[in-house]
Chains A and B, each alone.
Chain A
Amino acid sequence: MSDVKKSVLDTIKKEDVKPKPKWWFALMHALVWALAGVSVLIGSVAMAVVLHEVFGTDWVVAQRLGRDGIPGFLLVLPYLWFVALGVTLLAAYFLYKNTEKGYKKGPVMIVVGTMVISLVFGSVLYERQVPERVKDVMVENLPPFAELEMRRQEVFMAPERGVLVGIITDIQGEHLIVVNDVREREWSVDIAAARYGDDLIEMEKEVVCLGEKKGDAGFVAAEVRPLRERALKRLIDFRKKVERKVGPGA
């Protein structure tokens, strides 16, 4: 009998070494799969929020909001969700690689596969308006997130940079409308030289006025654009929730 064989069999006997039970391995495999599944699920939620932010942003308006040499679109990108998406996809990738046969697939295939799954599930969640509910829950429970969201949204509330978002509360003749902004502040908007679509200048319509601020509460619009359906109402509700958590914004 060789030294190694003798020593191995002696150790097994002396130390009463036993093979780990089958269920232990089954449990470990199940755990890895479950964690990979959870990562993909969280990644899908993050993907849904990214879609919500990307499709819910008026990029033409965002372009006008640049400051200090930073292009406007960079100020409103949902970075937090990009990071969340990246982290969860990375976790899903490593967990999948650690499944029993996961290593047989190449890294590119795993990454692309994970992204496609997240995109498919994310689109379904986006369609079912899960992102709004997720953000509501996070605002309720995570004050730093609420603060971050508030800051992102404030980028859009910038009459001094030529963007006024609000709801039409009065129409005073053909050239003047009154718009209440997100902070429920009243603005007189001159639309004499503004471009706007048919049926836009009506009471209770939510609009974005692009133009120039005049005085404390005046605005001369060059263009009036419609806001997504009830977007302002949702924004106001959202702000109220955030303010309850982190106090009034700027």
Chain B
Amino acid sequence: MFKDHLQKKDAELVAEALKDAEAFGPIVERYEEKLLRYVRRFTGLSKQCCEDVVQEVFLKIYRNLNGFNPEMQFSSWAYRIAHNEAINYLRKNKQNVAPLETDDEEMGDLLDVLHADVDIVKDASKGELRKAVQEVLYEMPVKYREVLVLRYLEDLDYTSMGDVLKKSVGTIGTLLNRAKERFKRTAQKKNYSFFHFE
């Protein structure tokens, strides 16, 4: 049974969930970890808050299953709902997003990307760098943070990012360039000595 679900495509699982609510379970299983990680990276909220948000995300996904367009990737649609819900949560709770005290290994991915644009001093420790990246990231406006997280931490392509944020591919490209510029400027302002900018 379990193996069976793993082999099924998202659209098949959606069709089954529309007939039987129990069949929604495998969809939750498939996307729970991804969405939790995304919401945590995007918002910087605590584990408990992220779980609350993601729980609401899955309920919204379930309520709107009939609105899912199979021409689109289910993952992009799920990310879109998670993104909107995370924004709503932040607005409602007017919570300042504070960087988490975690060693998110994937923050290194963002660093790898930034290597192309920013010289990073070799003797800086990975831990220091990750913390610095997190701090800079959470100081940035949401519109820039969201594209950096989706592109470099969630590894989405431009088309999927456009589907998540409901923006054209061209707009995504522009936003990403601006976000990288903003990242550099924010890091400069914070005087992180291990980033070297030309």
**Chain A interface (Cβ within 8 Å of chain B)?**
1-5, 7-9, 11-13, 17-22, 24-25, 97, 100, 103-107
B55, B69, B166, B168: which has the most chain A beta carbons within 10 Å? B168
A-contact bits for B53-67, CB 8 A (1 contact / 0 none): 011001100111111
Near A by CB (< 8 A), chain B positions 162-181 give 162, 166-171
8 A-B pairs with least C-beta separation: A103-B166, A25-B67, A5-B28, A19-B65, A106-B168, A8-B58, A22-B66, A106-B170
Which of A4, A5, A18, A105 interacts with B168 by CB under 8 Å? Answer: A105
Q: Which residue of the partner chain, among B18, B22, B63, contacts A17 with CB atoms under 8 Å?
A: B63
Of all chain B residues, which has the CB nearest A18?
B63
Flag if B64 contacts A19 (CB, 8 Å): yes
Q: Number of contacting residues on B, CB 8 A? A: 28
Q: How far is the CA of A9 from the CA of B55 in the complex (A)?
A: 10
How far is B25's CA from A12's CA once the two chains are assembled, in angstroms?
A: 11
B85 within 8 A of A: no
Contact A25 B63 (CB under 8 A): no
Query: Besides the contacts A9-B21, A20-B67, what 11 more A-B pairs have beta carbons closer than 8 Å?
Result: A1-B25, A4-B58, A5-B29, A12-B21, A18-B63, A20-B64, A21-B66, A100-B69, A103-B162, A107-B168, A107-B171
A8 touches B59 (CB 8 A): yes
Say yes or no: B168 contacts A12, CB within 8 Å: no
Residues of A within 8 A of B66 (CB): 19-22, 24-25
Interchain CB contact under 8 A, A104 and B162: yes
Cα distance A38–B62 in the bound complex, in angstroms:
33
In the complex, A100 Cα to B58 Cα: how many Å?
A: 21
Residue pair B59, A12 in contact (C-beta under 8 Å)? yes
Asked if residues A4 and B28 are in contact (CB atoms below 8 Å), the reply is yes
Q: How far is the CB of B48 from chain A (nearest CB, A)?
A: 10
Contact A104 B168 (CB under 8 A): yes
A residues in contact with B62, CB < 8 Å: 8, 12, 17, 19
- Bound-complex Cα distance A18 to B62 (A): 8
B interface residues, Cβ below 8 angstroms from A: 18, 21-22, 24-25, 28-29, 32, 36, 51, 54-55, 58-59, 62-67, 69, 162, 166-171
Whether A103 contacts B58 by the Cβ 8 Å rule is no
Q: Which of A9, A21, A103 contacts B24 (CB 8 A)?
A: A9
Contact A9 B25, CB 8 Å, known A4-B54, A22-B66, A103-B166: yes
Known A4-B36, A4-B51; contact A9-B168, beta-carbon cutoff 8 A? no
| Residue among B65, B67, B167, B171 with max Cβ neighbours from chain A (10 Å) | B67
**Measured between alpha carbons, how far is A1 from B36 in the docked complex, in Å?**
16
Residues of A within 8 A of B25 (CB): 1, 5, 9
User: Are A2 and B32 in contact (CB-based, < 8 A)?
Assistant: yes
Whether the Cβ atoms of B59 and A13 lie closer than 8 Å is no
Complex interface: chain A residues within 8 A of B69 (CB)? 100
Residues of B within 8 A of A11 (CB): 55, 59
For the complex, give the distance between the alpha carbons of A4 and B66 in Å: 22
Q: Find out whether the CB atom of B28 lies under 8 angstroms from the CB atom of A19.
A: no
Chain A residues, Cβ within 8 Å of B21: 9, 12-13, 17
Other-chain contact of A3, B22, B51, B64, B162 (Cβ < 8 Å): B51
The residue from A2, A7, A105 contacting B29, defined by CB atoms under 8 A apart: A2
Chain A residues with Cβ below 8 Å from B22 are 9
